[in-house]
Amino acid sequence: MKKFAVVLSGCGVFDGSEIHEATLTMYSISKNGATYDVFAPDIEQHHVINHLNGNELDEKRNVMIEAARIARGAVKDLKELDPASYDALIFPGGFGVAKNLCTFAFDGPDCKINTEVEKVIKAMNEKGKPIGALCIAPVLLAKVFGSNVELTIGQDKGTAEAVEAMGAVHKNTNHGEVVVDKKNKLYTTPCYMLDANIAQIGEGADNIVKEMLKDM
């Protein structure tokens, strides 16, 4: 069975992983006959957001501990991810990607990426293994690989311009569409970067997983 490494950025759309995208990605992997392990960096998240009203809370949380909520406790430190043990790498979206895994939410094209995140992306790519990214997560790939990569974040003009400022080629997409960069084995789909419902998120997650499995 093919095995995915799923990387989460916390728990909750505004300060961590988007829960629908994360859950439906794992569901799609399992439904399509593959397996997965969940990883997250053992770091403090940038800030904590009250998901009822959007206000910042005066407290601290750990990305890995929060990701364990989605993984039902079965989450590993990203430092432990051995690229040789996995056939693919995939990043669900959520603002945690742009706040905890990198600083795109604050610095745009000048963002910095978490060292372990960049390390695992490069290692999987060097081994010729497919890498998937949903929603805002493709900004990680734009920052790491720069020019000569094709990807999508949907249709948001500002984010697309920021991605292109990092050297990537952006493709506008609609619900469920997957942009495949065959040369670099990169797979991206917009999910909640569009005004989507949960069924459309499920379609996007299923489509990207299926496309990645073709390349394993």
Residues 86-117 pLDDT 10s: 999 999 999 999 999 999 999 999 999 999 99
Q: Is the pLDDT of residue 4 over 90?
A: yes
Q: How would residue 147 be classed by pLDDT, with cut points 50, 70 and 90?
A: confident
Across 157-161, average pLDDT: 97
Q: Where are the domains of the chain?
A: 3-214
What is the per-residue pLDDT across 133-145, written as a single tens digit (0 to 9) for each? Answer: 999 999 999 999 9
**CATH 1.10.10.10 for domain 3-214:** no
CB 41 within 8 A of CB 78: yes
The catalytically annotated residue of 102, 111, 135, 191 is 135
Q: pTM of this prediction?
A: 0.97
CB 16 within 8 A of CB 100: yes
* CA pair distance 93, 189, nearest whole angstrom: 10
Is 111 annotated in the active site?
Answer: no
The strand ranges marked E within the chain are: 3-7, 35-40, 48-49, 56-57, 75-77, 88-91, 131-134, 150-151, 169-170, 179-181, 186-189
What is the per-residue pLDDT across 17-43, written as a single tens digit (0 to 9) for each? Answer: 999 999 999 999 999 999 999 999 999
**For the chain, percent of residues with pLDDT exceeding 70:** 100
